[in-house]
Amino acid sequence: MSEKEIVIGCINGELKAQRILFDRFAGKMMTVCRRYAGQSSDAEDFFQESFIRVFQNLHQFQFQGSLEGWIRRVVVNACIRQLSKRKLTYSLDSDSVFFEPEVDNLALSSLSEEEILSWISSMPLGYKTVFNLVVFDGFSHKEVSSMMNIDEATSRSQLLKGRKWLQKRVVHAQNIKI
Amino acid sequence: MSTNNWEKSWKNQLDKYDSPVDSKLFESIASKAAVKSGNTYLFGWLGLGFAVLSSAIIISGMNSKSAQNNISSEKKSDQYQVSISQKQSGWDYLTTALYKPALAHEFNNSGKFILSGSSQGQNEILLNSKEEHTNESVRLTVKNSLTERNPVSSNIINVPSEVHSELQSVESIIASNPLNESEKQIIDFEDANVRFGAAMPLSVLFPVKSKLKSAHQVKILDPDNCFNDAKGRSSFYVDAFVGIGNSIRSLSSVENQIPYMNLRDSLEKSWYNSAVGARLGFILSSGMAIETGAEYQVHNEIFEYKNESEVRITYKYHYDQFGIVTRIDTITELGARNLRTHNKYQQITIPLRLGYTMEKGRWMIGARLGVGLHIWNHQQGVILDNTYQTYKIEEDPQEYFNKNWGMQYNASLQIGYRILPQTFLMIEPVWNSQSNGITQRPYTLEQKYQTLRVNIGVRFVPGSYY
């Protein structure tokens, strides 16, 4: 079944086509949801809401660009919508702001996918959301500021803090001497 | 490695990474997506109906506002002449009423306005309503009912009690302002503030500036042939009906289950279709009509199952004093089983239909064509499932039947007879056909219905002027 046939089948409400689309992209999209969610139960909620939106809005896909990219965008937007229902706080904890260890970045790059997801999901919500949007999903700070209704400066500082927060804890966890 | 490099590395890793997903999530997502999609259709459907009706109201209101009414009254020797000219939507109307004051009229205690006369003379009211554009006119002469062999029914008019006293006050105004016979006078009866309803067309007999809003309110029509000029008017209507007819069921095999399909067909017989509903509609001045509403219908069937060699297995459990099972007896019984049930397939449908309506005399005839959205489906009874076992549909563990949405096409012919000024008695042969079955896709058969039914009901036309 070609990608176009799958999309048309889904638009027509065919369970078989929906199942194929689900099987093809569910794993990757669950990874996206896990990045944004703190707990696995949240990730499942995000995932369900995201895929419902995918099925409902598939008729808007114009076959321009990749289907995966379109679905990923829908999923990210659904995650942000879910997060916006919660009150995001943007921490100003100073211990990590000025902490600039000379880390062995090779250690950071050698983590497994599950370890990376575990570290990201344990980040404070504000850091995590901006870090995800900028680093993984390629949004600019201007776009983040409008999506999250925050200043661009706040977006930049949250990214910086999130980055330091990760470096500090990952390095400590791996007992790497600074 | 710079900061950006480990981030890029993480991004590359996670972009390709498939997290484990519980496959049961798919069923939940698919069903929720279908329900939400259905909700979207429903709201869209209702929104469309609302938008159309709102537009009709606005257009009707604009027409009403654009109407220009001029009323003048003139006394000519022994009679009053009332002239009402109107301009509405580019059409000119002129209505004149000649009222001979010799004609006595009174209100009795039961709120009837009675035109009465004596054997010595003949009371007479001459009315003429004319559409200038087409030069079509409607004339009415009402003569003294007491001297006529066949009294004219419109001589007796229902007068709402609250109007009664106001009419009397108008009488007193007329009495205290005698008209000069030699010159034409324009009388302003604004103070009278009479609220003549549209159901009282003879109100124009009084030289009163009633709250005329559209041309149709001043047209005085022959009671026996008063619907000829139905064109040129827009109005809402409300229908209420009940209906009974036949459901024609069709089963088709989705997965080459012909023997099973034939068996089900032989065990289940269509009985009858019944329906009840209400509609709101709007007829444009051109006769075009749009209507929507809600309709509840039931496809009734009889399921008859006979098995001469039915095997029934029951298990009898024996417990000790601690409640622990010590023995299980298996009891096998062989016998005949006869089962007869009344199966019901119920639906609530929201129709959206377009059509055309014509009126002639007291008769009305219209045709409608449209679609309907089944917003609720419910089934009860017993059928044979595809393992050839009987099962209760209500329990529906197999989820054979669709509980959610569906579409139908429908067409009907509406024939009405006006029994009251604002009310038609209506009979309506209806055909409808489901575009998709009431069964769900995983089931091996698709079950659909076509319906031929006759609805009987009433059509109420608020503000009717006939």
* C-alpha span between A46 and B131 (Å, rounded): 67
With 60 as the cut, is the pLDDT of residue B364 above it?
Answer: yes
Q: Average pLDDT of A40-68?
A: 85
* C-alpha span between B405 and B292 (Å, rounded): 17
Q: What per-residue confidence (pLDDT) applies to B279?
A: 96
Q: Between these two residues, A90 and A132, which has the higher pLDDT value?
A: A132
Assign residue B385 a region: left if phi > 0, alpha if psi is -120 to 50, beta otherwise? beta
Nearest to B134 by CA among B87, B84, B91, B100: B91
pLDDT, averaged across chain B: 67
CA B154, B158, B163: angle at the middle one, nearest 5? 130
Q: Which residue has the tokens 């669709």?
A: B402
Nearest to A150 by CA among A166, A126, A134, A124: A126
* C-alpha span between B233 and B231 (Å, rounded): 6
Least confident range of A31-40, A126-135, B62-71, B452-461: B62-71
Q: What per-residue confidence (pLDDT) applies to B183?
A: 30
Composition of chain B by helix, strand, coil, percent to 5: 20, 50, 30
With 70 as the cut, is the pLDDT of residue A111 above it?
Answer: yes
* C-alpha span between B126 and B106 (Å, rounded): 19
* C-alpha span between B285 and B64 (Å, rounded): 12
Condensed to tens digits (0 to 9), the pLDDT of residues B419-454 reads 877 789 999 999 999 988 888 776 778 889 999 999
The amino acid sitting at B440 is Q
CA A43, A46, A51: angle at the middle one, nearest 5? 120
Are A52 and B3 a contacting pair at CB < 8 A?
A: no
Q: What per-residue confidence (pLDDT) applies to A102?
A: 53
* C-alpha span between B431 and B451 (Å, rounded): 6
Are B29 and A52 a contacting pair at CB < 8 A?
A: yes
> Within 13 Å of residue B369, how many CA atoms lie on the same side as its CB?
3
Condensed to tens digits (0 to 9), the pLDDT of residues B200-216 reads 333 333 333 333 323 23
Specify which of A125-134, B68-77, B124-133 reaches the highest per-range mean pLDDT. A125-134
Q: Between these two residues, A4 and B308, which has the higher pLDDT value?
A: A4
How large is the angle between the packed helices A15-36 and B3-16, nearest 10 degrees?
Answer: 150
Structure tokens at B207: 């030289």
Condensed to tens digits (0 to 9), the pLDDT of residues B92-116 reads 445 554 544 333 344 444 443 344 3
Chain A CB contacts of B11 below 8 Å: 135-136
- Using DSSP bridges, classify how beta strands B124-131 and B288-319 pair: parallel, antiparallel or unpaired: unpaired
Give CA B306 to chain center in angstroms.
43
Residue A119 pLDDT grade (very low, low, confident, very high; cuts 50, 70, 90): confident
CB-count burial class (<10 Å; 0-12, 13-18, 19+) for A108: buried
The three-state secondary structure class of A128 is: helix
Q: What per-residue confidence (pLDDT) applies to B25?
A: 82
With 80 as the cut, is the pLDDT of residue B290 above it?
Answer: yes
First to last CA, chain B: 91
Q: Which residue has the tokens 């059928």?
A: B383
Are A135 and B30 a contacting pair at CB < 8 A?
A: no
Specify which of A10-14, B272-276, B442-446 reaches the highest per-range mean pLDDT. B272-276
Residue B36 pLDDT grade (very low, low, confident, very high; cuts 50, 70, 90): low
Q: Give the distance from residue B450's alpha carbon to the nearest chain A alpha carbon, in angstroms.
A: 23
Q: Which residue has the tokens 């997502």?
A: B29
Q: Give the distance from residue A51's alpha carbon to the nearest chain B alpha carbon, in angstroms.
A: 7
Nearest to B39 by CA among B433, B376, B295, B363: B376
Q: What per-residue confidence (pLDDT) applies to B144?
A: 31
Chain A CB contacts of B34 below 8 Å: 13
With 80 as the cut, is the pLDDT of residue B311 above it?
Answer: no
Of B6, B441, B442, the CB nearest to A108: B6
